[in-house]
Amino acid sequence: MGSILVSGGAGFVGSFLCEALLDRGEHVVCLDNLQTGSLGNILHLVPNERFLFSAQDVELPLSAFNDIEQIYNLACPASPVHYQNDPIRTLRTNVIGAINILELARRTGARVLQASTSEVYGDPEIHPQSEGYRGSVTSFGPRACYDEGKRAAETLFHDYCKMYDVDIRIARIFNTYGPNMAGSDGRVVSNFIMQALSGQPITIYGEGKQTRSFCYVTDLVEGLIRLMNAGPHMRQPCNLGNPTETTIRELAEHVIEATGSSSELQFLPLPQDDPIRRRPDISLAFKNLGWQPTTHLPEGLARTVEYFESHQQQRPRAMTQPSRGGPIVGRLFTDSLHVAAGEQQMRRLHPDSAQLRSNGRKPNGHAGKDADSDRIGFNSN
């Protein structure tokens, strides 16, 4: 039985995806350079014998991985704060990362799903947005590194399918929220919750009339898995998101109610190229996947607020210097820059582990002959 590789697997959505796949009995290889992902998101998965973690950047060749049946490519910072911090690197992650993922799929014969984005539609001029809409976009501006990077990745996936018959799936993901979001990532839901919990003013850009469609993370993950396992007729972009449109001001009011906060609303100038409306047409997903979101916004916000209240202060943050290289054997960090930091974080989170050493597993998900019962390993060799 081959493994499923999830790049960006220690991130917000990726960690939920890894857990859902493990719940289905799959062998999962979680690949993440920890640029924006967090060890805390996947710590509870480490004891599972079918889970392996690999600290590596997708910009580097993935030659160490074999016996892979499916690949979910979620590797890329997804919030404006993170992807605008280093726009050139964001483009490299989207383009070079996509090439390396596709080459792995080509070599192993794996089916591969690209986590694209509703940002490919830019500031849309039609509502709701269907997959046939080509978008209203710009190759300049602060968001272009992400928007155009994702569009380029979609092109690469299409061309690898056409030239090499790589079995592709493309999910255009709309706004998603839920537990495991980082409080400092700049997304509107996490921003509002953090501000409300601390009693600070809730900052709304513009008049708050702009809309988004918020999909709870477990609903999205179910859609991703269904799309991955759909037939070859789904080798085309597919919207995944919640078709219920909510204004930003309404979201702020929901958050205040969910937190019981006395925070006031503060209005600031609208950022450049910020879309005014965003709503997916999910007809394709509903017809072909039988998928639609089931979690209503108040319910999802209540779960998310509970998470932030109970976890945010104790979660480890993403490492300031992400891992750039080195194939991983089992659950090992072979990037010497991250051994000490990673080991310190894991020991703090897992104090019962007096000895943290290799469990002898290999990247394809099969145990080596020296495998033991240890669940976490670090090695700078």
Q: What is the pLDDT of residues 261-273, one digit of tens each?
A: 999 999 999 887 7
Determine, yes or no, domain membership for 55.
Answer: yes
Determine, yes or no, domain membership for 160.
Answer: yes
pLDDT band at 311 (very low <50, low <70, confident <90, very high): confident
Please pick, among 72, 121, 146, 160, the residue that the annotation labels catalytic.
146
Of 123 and 263, more confident: 263
pLDDT band at 366 (very low <50, low <70, confident <90, very high): very low
Instruction: Give percent of the chain with pLDDT exceeding 90.
Output: 70
Nearest to 18 by CA among 157, 160, 270, 217: 217
pLDDT band at 243 (very low <50, low <70, confident <90, very high): very high
Q: What is the CATH number of the domain that holds 127?
A: 3.40.50.720
Q: Which of 134-143, 282-291, 319-328 has the least mean pLDDT?
A: 319-328
pLDDT of residue 209: 94
The structure tokens 């790049």 sit at 7
Determine, yes or no, domain membership for 283.
Answer: yes
Determine, yes or no, domain membership for 90.
Answer: yes
pLDDT of residue 313: 55
**Segment 191-222, tens digit of pLDDT:** 999 999 999 999 999 999 999 999 999 999 99
The boundaries of the domain holding residue 111 are: 3-175+216-244+279-294
pLDDT of residue 314: 52
Determine, yes or no, domain membership for 334.
Answer: no
Q: Measure the CA–CA gap between 184 and 191, rounded to whole angstroms.
A: 7
pLDDT at 380 over 80: no
pLDDT of residue 327: 35
Cβ(261)–Cβ(203) below 8 Å:
no
pLDDT of residue 186: 86
pLDDT of residue 141: 86
Q: If you ran DSSP here, which 8-state letter would residue 234 be given?
A: G
How do strand 265-268 and strand 211-212 relate by DSSP bridges?
A: unpaired
Instruction: Give percent of the chain with pLDDT exceeding 70.
Output: 82
Determine, yes or no, domain membership for 223.
Answer: yes
pLDDT band at 184 (very low <50, low <70, confident <90, very high): confident
Q: Which of 81-95, 168-182, 244-258, 330-344 has the least mean pLDDT?
A: 330-344
pLDDT at 354 over 80: no
Cα→Cα distances 186→1, 77, 369, Å? 40, 11, 45
Query: Average of pLDDT values for 305-319?
Result: 68
Task: Tally the domains of the chain.
Answer: 1
**Segment 7-32, tens digit of pLDDT:** 999 999 999 999 999 999 999 999 99
How do strand 68-73 and strand 51-54 relate by DSSP bridges?
A: unpaired
pLDDT at 294 over 50: yes
Cβ(53)–Cβ(350) below 8 Å:
no
CB within 8 Å of 30: residues ≥ 6 apart:
6, 9, 10, 14, 18, 42, 45, 51, 52, 53, 54
Q: If you ran DSSP here, which 8-state letter would residue 280 be given?
A: B
Determine, yes or no, domain membership for 260.
Answer: no
pLDDT at 226 over 80: yes
pTM of the entire predicted model: 0.84
pLDDT at 340 over 80: no
Concerning whether 160 is annotated as a catalytic residue, the answer is: no
Determine, yes or no, domain membership for 240.
Answer: yes
Query: Average of pLDDT values for 224-233?
Result: 98
Q: Which residues pair with 240 in a beta bridge?
A: 173
pLDDT of residue 368: 35
Q: Measure the CA–CA gap between 372 and 358, rounded to whole angstroms.
A: 8
pLDDT band at 81 (very low <50, low <70, confident <90, very high): confident
pLDDT band at 274 (very low <50, low <70, confident <90, very high): confident
